[in-house]
A = this chain, B = another copy of it.
Amino acid sequence: MKIAVIGGVAAGTSAAAKARRTDPDAEIVIFEKGTEISYGGCGLPYYISGLIPDRDQLIAFTGEEFEDKYGVEVRLKHEVREIDSHEKMIYYKNLATGQDGAYQYDKLIIATGASPIKPPFEGFEKENIFVLRSVKDGDRIKAAANRDTTKKAVIIGAGLIGLEMAEAFTEMGLKTTVIELQPQVLPPFSQEMAKLVEKELQEKDVDLVLNDGVAAFKGGDKLEKVVTESGKEIEADLALLSIGVKANSELAKKAGIEIGETGAIKINEKMETNLKDIYAAGDCAESKDLITGKAAWIPLGSTANKQGRTAGENAAGGSYSHSGIIKTGITKIFDLTAARTGLSKEEAEKNGFEVTEVKIKARNHAGYYPGADIINIKGVFANNDGRLLGAEVIGGDGSDKRIDVLVTAIQAEMTAADLFQLDLAYAPPYSSAKDAVAILGMVAEKKL
């Protein structure tokens, strides 16, 4: 049995490791076009800011370490250029030597990831304009941000990476401005809840330019300012473009593999594509929204891990499923945690639910215990049966706990009444006798 894996970050390495455990005898080869595998891309903002001091900490395994630990061959700087699903061949170029090569597989796992979206902005070729995806991107941004002459940073896009980098640059002493096309930061959140994040950013001296986009990057060889569509000119020694990513699905598409409406590779719960013996996993692949049953694409390390593990197991002859996601996301923004899951009111209504939104504010733990902080929760409940369909949690410590309880409740199809009945763990350092989740349930029951 020969298993080829294209891509060696989260999904690819999870797939290879799991395939090895499932089939100790298989030949398993990872083809990775870069020089790093298995790195924690989500940790890059903290590496850039210096909170994570050592670059190596981000890299779970070097290629060699992975080979040693799992008995998997790792071919770095190997770019796969073509898949022939009839002959079960992949054709690659060794970017180090320039030589072409081919590999015959029995099973193929595509884990090609995603890439930052880079529209053809005027002046985008200037120095000090970056995207953040790889460890090398992180190295470059860190070096530029730490230069003595770098005082001002502009971030384009107020999504998770944009805001995490706003914190990083601010911690590094750069005056930071975030430009966002939408009228709010964190577009997947409701506007009302996003305002709490905007307040936190402003308190931490981050400038926000909402409802505006980039028209051009100006300057000489080096960036000097960012000009917005509304005509604002923002001085900038450095700019980060973080307006989103797109699935790396071209290779698959060229091979006749079906691509979904999201632009990512269509797969079923077994991670199988439409072509026999070809699996896809991670940021290049779709998932299913467990509430609506529709295709969803939310590229995240946690999903990549689960999908990779599932693809690896199945490619090696096992049988495993990943049923889908509910689009959970979380981010730390200075002293706030912002998290969401499930459907927003608008999404729910678009999918035929009549819903009620319920917003509460509660303490993270007993008010008398030091460190008490406020947690804001918004829940979206179905009017007919009180079922919880979605939630947003923004607040201090313990916000991550509440979102994970609500994630579990949503996947269990719990109702407002069920939330009140949860026997959640109570002691003063951890919660209040009435936990925030119970309060949400109580208020929702009354309102429904």
Contact = CB atoms under 8 A, between A and B. Distances in A.
B405 A332 contact: no
Contact of A368 (B58, B322, B339, B398): B58
Contacts of A400: 398, 401, 425, 430-431
B407 A411 contact: no
A341 interface: yes
Interface residues of A, number: 70
A409 B47 CA distance: 35
A306 B309 CA distance: 41
A40 B368 contact: yes
Contact of A425 (B329, B422, B429): B329
Contacts of A370: 51-52
A305 B421 contact: no
Interface string A186-204: 0000000000000000000
Interface string A141-155: 000000000000000
A435 B300 CA distance: 13
Interface string A415-448: 0001011111111111101110110001000000
A331 B268 CA distance: 43
A385 to B, nearest CB: 15
Given A331-B427, A368-B52, A370-B51, A434 B302 contact: yes
Contacts of A427: 42, 160, 330-332
Contacts of A409: 408, 412
Contacts of A422: 404, 407-408, 411
Contact of A428 (B42, B421, B429): B42
A103 interface: no
3 tightest Cβ-Cβ pairs between the two chains A and B: A412-B412, A302-B426, A330-B425
